[in-house]
């Protein structure tokens, strides 16, 4: 998509409504407000871009809410569902989407920067392609009821993010890698905590990053069967993994590994700039050989994006 003038921004505005009108997101955009946006684009493109970005984020958040509602409905009997309750739920989700959109440092800011870049042909180098970092107070303390978030599904994912955020922040201070990225990597490696590596006695090894116990490791180990890819083919092998006494120790050891191992120097160089993207981080890990799965980067990128979306919902 190329934007070189205010008139082309009006085309984006029209396109956003056309897309939204075909689905549930249509109610999130007021057509009269859209007309005002088209008008303002001609004399104040920057302000119009900001509002347009917020509208896009609203549409996105509403679709996220819809997906969660659909997942919840699939697990329920549906006895209490009817057209009236569905309409009420959609209206409620629309309001949630509006309230969740437009926060500083959120998705709208990223969209606005991209639109500005396409209109003027440039943007600050330190912002190019960056995914916004999670603010220090972005995740509430563990135990916050999901009902207060307006959500009932995704309990395991929310609990995982809450449980590991503090340890991830400490690791971020050591590495510069965004805490949200590390929480997401732990989520991917452990299946959101469902596939944690266990010791021989059945207790948790707390190794949520799947770090193997190489020759340099002198601590306790957990020996388990895992999947490795050899020449692109998945094979079951028995391997030894590091075992820790806490999740904090696991995140601390992960941070040490990333800092001290030469193979991850590329990832650390990206992190030091403060603009490492989700895809760039995931691809850097795969290139360094963190995992043998040829699709590791794509899978991790999706989990990172899911984690960041959850954090956005949780902080609203």
CA distance 316 to 314: 6
CA distance 80 to 86: 10
Q: Which helix (H) or strand (E) holds 224?
A: strand 221-230
**CA end-to-end span of the chain, whole Å?**
31
Selected catalytic residue, list 93, 116, 172, 253: 253
Selected catalytic residue, list 30, 228, 245, 298: 228
CA distance 83 to 89: 10
What are the distances in angstroms from CA 231 to CA 234, 293, 300? 9, 10, 21
Q: Identify whether 253 is a catalytic site residue.
A: yes
Of 261, 51, 311, 281, which Cα lies nearest the Cα of 160? 311
CA distance 84 to 17: 25
Eight-class DSSP state of 262: G
Please report which residue ranges of the chain form alpha helices under DSSP H: 6-21, 31-43, 45-74, 83-100, 107-120, 155-175, 179-190, 247-260, 265-273, 278-288, 296-314
- In this structure, are residues 55 and 16 in contact, taking their beta carbons and an 8 Å threshold? yes
Q: Identify whether 172 is a catalytic site residue.
A: no
Catalytic residues: 228, 253
């Amino acid at each position: 998509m190329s934007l070189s003038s205010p008139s082309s921004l009006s085309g984006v505005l029209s396109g956003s409504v056309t897309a939204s009108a075909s689905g549930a997101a249509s109610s999130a955009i007021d057509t009269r407000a859209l007309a005002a946006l088209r008008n303002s684009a001609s004399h104040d493109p920057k302000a119009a871009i900001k509002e347009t970005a917020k509208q896009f984020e609203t549409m996105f958040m509403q679709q996220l809410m819809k997906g969660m509602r659909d997942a919840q409905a699939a697990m329920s009997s549906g006895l209490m569902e009817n057209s009236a309750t569905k309409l009420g739920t959609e209206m409620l989700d629309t309001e949630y989407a509006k309230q969740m959109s437009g926060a500083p440092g959120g998705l709208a800011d990223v969209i606005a920067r991209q639109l500005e870049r396409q209109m003027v042909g440039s943007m600050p180098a330190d912002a190019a392609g960056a995914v916004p970092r999670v603010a220090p107070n972005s995740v509430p303390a563990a135990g916050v009821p999901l009902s207060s978030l307006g959500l009932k599904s995704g309990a395991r994912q929310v609990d995982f993010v809450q449980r590991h955020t503090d340890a991830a922040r400490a690791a971020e201070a050591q590495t510069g890698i965004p805490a949200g990225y590390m929480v997401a990597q732990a989520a991917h490696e452990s299946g959101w905590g469902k596939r944690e590596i266990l010791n021989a006695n059945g207790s948790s090894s707390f190794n949520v990053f799947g770090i193997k116990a190489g020759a340099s490791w002198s601590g306790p180990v957990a020996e388990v069967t895992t999947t490795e890819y050899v020449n692109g083919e998945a094979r079951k092998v028995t391997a030894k993994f590091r075992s820790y006494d806490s999740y904090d120790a696991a995140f601390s050891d992960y941070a040490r590994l990333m800092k001290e191992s030469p193979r991850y120097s590329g990832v650390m160089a990206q992190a030091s700039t403060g603009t490492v993207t989700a895809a760039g981080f995931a691809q850097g890990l795969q290139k360094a050989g963190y995992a043998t799965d040829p699709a590791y980067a794509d899978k991790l990128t999706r989990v990172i994006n899911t984690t960041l979306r959850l954090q956005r919902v949780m902080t609203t």
